[in-house]
Structure 1
Amino acid sequence: MVECCFRMEESLHYTYKINRKRNIIAALEVRVVKQGSFEALMDFCVSKGTSLSQYKKRSCIKSEEALKILDSRVIGKYFSPKSPL
């Protein structure tokens, strides 16, 4: 998984790589969550008024409550140990 993080960082835009090398942004982090985590997130969103038929998995989550749901289900955290440049 650590190698996967590094390979993903290598594939990102040059601007990301420069900012990463300068420590402007942190290393890419990949988190593995328990099975059913995204269903729990969907249930939370529906409970807050999202229509079940219109629900789509999020690419960006701003809700602290939603982040807590995912954080509570993390079973692994992985970082790239080196800068991609």
Structure 2
Amino acid sequence: MSQNNQHVVTEQMTAELRYLHKVMQAIDILGEQPALHVVAYGKVWRYADLLHTAVRYAQLAELHGFDTSPFKQWFNRDLALFQLHGVELRVS
């Protein structure tokens, strides 16, 4: 983790990051089979949900000082595909 973290990371953000980590593990099959639906944590998850969750996960991970450059490269490379699923999110 980076020692130059300029953002304040709250306990809530850390708890959200942990929760999203668990969610990502539960719904990761959607990355390979986007037509599926996954029931986890009291919700039906679709491919677009995976993408939104991944972006939030990366945002929180970056605030915690983790290197998210591989995520950004993947996201930017496949941006057109994501837009087909109604996901138009920006990553820095």
Global fold match (TM > 0.5): no
Higher strand share: 1
TM-score where L is the length of structure 1:
0.27
Larger radius of gyration: 1
For CA contacts below 8 A with separation 6 or more, give which structure has more relative contact order.
1
TM-score where L is the length of structure 2:
0.25
